[in-house]
Amino acid sequence: DHIFEKVSPEMEKLGYECKCLGGGKIEHNSKDKKIRVFGLSTGYGKADHSVTVEILKKEYTDYEIAWSDDKK
């Protein structure tokens, strides 16, 4: 919730309505060009990591990107 609480007010000033749909972690290994999405937020639960991966694939086209339900 640290990021959401910081970003949400600024987004709302721009006219966006913000709602947190869940959380997790992202592990970024730029050397090996790998990204792993996993975990959950204790306050918001688990985000749909498959959606996160699809968004990341648009920007990191030459990376191996995966997700899991692992907590660590």
Give tens-digit pLDDT for 6-64: 999 999 999 999 999 999 999 999 999 999 999 999 889 999 999 999 999 999 999 99
- 71: pLDDT confidence band, cut at 50, 70 and 90? confident
DSSP state of 58: H
Task: Catalogue all structural domains in the chain, each as residue range(s) with its CATH number.
Answer: 21-68 (3.50.20.20)
Write the Ramachandran bin of 50: left for phi over 0, alpha for psi from -120 to 50, otherwise beta: alpha
Percent of the chain with pLDDT over 70: 99
- Give, in order, the Cα–Cα distances in Å from 52 to each of 7, 14, 15, 72: 17, 23, 23, 17
